[in-house]
Structure 1
């Protein structure tokens, strides 16, 4: 995509609805590696795009949003796990998932690498795959590198649920959906998940639905 076409696309999105419509699985923009951000947008355009992504993420509501999810093939993502999203989640579930509030932040050209061999498997969903969740194994700790919206270099360690969010959103920028990494036998509608599998960990679902968890040779006993 040329810089001119990208700018036109961004301007069209900024002139459209707010919150922006979220692109659903099946659209090619979700399956193509996004373009590196190299200053193609003006400061006003970048600020406007970040603000629109933040509004769209919060309205969904979600804990992250990548630019391709609103039709912009650019390596840009926003993250935020607000305290109000955690308010009704049992303390045991939060502890098992190592989930805590994550202040709003912007990732530009993010990339991650695993730190250590530790993994964690939990049910995970996606705003671009509405109504469904599946158990997905992720690295417990990652090294995140890239920039923020001001151009400041990022090089940090992220762990727990925040690391899961970083991996999920960065994967979007590579054309990867969480379903590509998920245990498909675990796939569950959100309604079934809330009714049957809202445990802190997915061991019971593993046994009932017949899928393995990390470190096991087969479904949990």
Structure 2
């Protein structure tokens, strides 16, 4: 559309009340109403900048639909997948491609997030699957006194399907720890001194 055509269209839309002038921070819409939004910081500092989203990301989501589990991200607290009871994996599923894809995604997300363990419900899959790993790089990232106090040791990647837990030493130890599903928070959590995780 040429510049003349765009100008005529704009005048026609304004005449019918379809186009309103752009407002700056603090200006009010005629007749009252809320303040205008902008991508710059407001003078009072109470509201942050507007979040910009990529148009192509929007179109891709529109065309492809919502992602299917296992997600490439960790579900956060409040997600229904974290509240549901995880079902045991059936023996027929053990060699299936879905379980292999789930395990690959668990390991991929766990390593990208640099965490020690991740379960299938945290990726939106309500199955009893757990991946744990404490590599040398994460071990060295902890201060020596912390490693000693917590009796930390590295261990290779292990994946448990339908895991069961047996308490070996019921004395409780409490240390601060985080959870990828409650991102950004730490809490002191009591844990048994020693447990054994096994899978049938």
TM-score where L is the length of structure 2: 0.62
Cα-to-partner distance string for 1:73-124 (whole Å, 9 max, x where unaligned)? 0000100011101213221210110111110010111121222331110001
Q: Secondary structure at the match of 2:68?
A: helix
2:143 to 71, 81, 90: 90
TM-score where L is the length of structure 1: 0.56
Count of aligned residue pairs for this structure pair: 133
1:32 to 66, 75, 84: 84
Higher helix share: 1
Distance 1:128 1:40, change over 3 A: farther
Q: CA RMSD in A?
A: 1.8
Residues in 1 aligned to 2:112 and 2:150: alpha-carbon distance in whole angstroms: 24
Cα-to-partner distance string for 1:112-160 (whole Å, 9 max, x where unaligned)? 12223311100010000000000000001113222xxxxxx4xxxxxxx
Structure 1, unaligned stretches of length 5 or more? 1-10, 147-152, 154-221
Cα-to-partner distance string for 1:6-54 (whole Å, 9 max, x where unaligned)? xxxxx9336xx6xx12100001211221000113535222211111110
Give structure 1 regions of 4+ aligned residues with deviation exceeding 4 angstroms. none
Matches within 5 A, 1:166-177: none
Greater relative contact order (CA < 8 Å, ≥ 6 in sequence): 1
Q: Which residue number in structure 2 is paired with residue 119 of structure 1?
A: 172
> Is 2:188 the partner of 1:138?
no
Residues in 2 aligned to 1:32 and 1:12: alpha-carbon distance in whole angstroms: 17
Structure 2, unaligned stretches of length 5 or more? 1-66
